[in-house]
Amino acid sequence: MKFKRLYNTKEHRQEVKEALQTGRMGLILRAFFFPKMARAFLIRVLIVILTAWCFFKFICMPLVIQGESMLPTYPSRGFMFCWAPSYWFRSPQRGDIVIMRYGRGTMLLKRVIALPGDTVAFKDGRLILNGKPSAEPYIKGPSDWNLPERTVERNHYYLAGDNRSVPMEAHVFGEMHKRYLKGAPLW
């Protein structure tokens, strides 16, 4: 198997010759460090890196779960991906797990428990949805949450974590506008 040297090509020698004739240092350095063949490769590598960065920044965001508000469904320090296209063409449904933006650089993992127009309340830890007790098989621990009935506004969703044994004061939950919903977990 024979390998061709990168800097010993006809094109590279021509680039160096042109750079030396014009006396431009930038051309000399560019011809030496980035011959045409290497430039094309470098452009391809940069395109791949930029595409991967955009994909993982805006489409499929890697996240590490910190906190216990979604126990036992999602353990603390677990790894997941947020799939942003989940809600580009459809609205979240009751029971969906969503990822929402909460402040600058913070994402929260919560479950949709009420849709726009629904009435929601908590009585002795039990979810009352549209005036009727709602079954929540994903809730495992005891809860003592009590909240008066309220109607979810248009374009808002009522979100809460699965670990309701956490005191209400230490739990982030409530109505959230749909623009803050960033996607759904891939698993």
Locate tokens 């098989």: which residue? 137
Q: Going residue by residue through the chain (187 aa), what tens digit of pLDDT does each one get?
A: 444 455 566 776 777 777 777 766 676 677 667 766 667 788 888 999 999 999 999 999 999 999 999 998 999 999 999 999 999 999 999 999 999 999 888 899 999 999 999 999 999 999 999 999 999 999 988 888 999 999 999 999 999 999 998 888 888 899 999 999 999 999 7
The answer to whether residues 34 and 109 belong to one domain is no
> Is residue 46 domain-resident?
yes
Pairing of strands 119-123, 147-151: antiparallel
The DSSP annotation for 21-80 comes to HHT-HHHHHHHHHS-HHHHHHHHHHHHHHHHHHHIIIIIEEEEE--SSTTTTTS-TT-EE
Q: Please indicate, yes or no, whether residues 168 and 85 belong to a single structural domain of this protein.
A: yes
Query: Are 94 and 174 in the same domain?
Result: yes
Q: What pLDDT sits at residue 112?
A: 98
Domain that holds residue 52: 10-58
Neighbour count for residue 95 (Cβ, 10 Å): 12
CATH number of the domain that residue 96 is part of: 2.10.109.10
Domain tally, the chain: 2
On whether both 36 and 115 belong to a single domain, the answer is: no
Are residues 121 and 169 located together in one domain of the fold?
yes
What pLDDT score was predicted for residue 156?
A: 98
Residues 114 and 71 in one domain: yes
103 in the same domain as 22: no
Regarding whether 69 and 49 lie in a shared domain, the answer is no
49 and 123 belong to one structural domain: no
Q: Is residue 51 part of a domain?
A: yes
> Does the predicted model carry a pTM greater than 0.85?
no
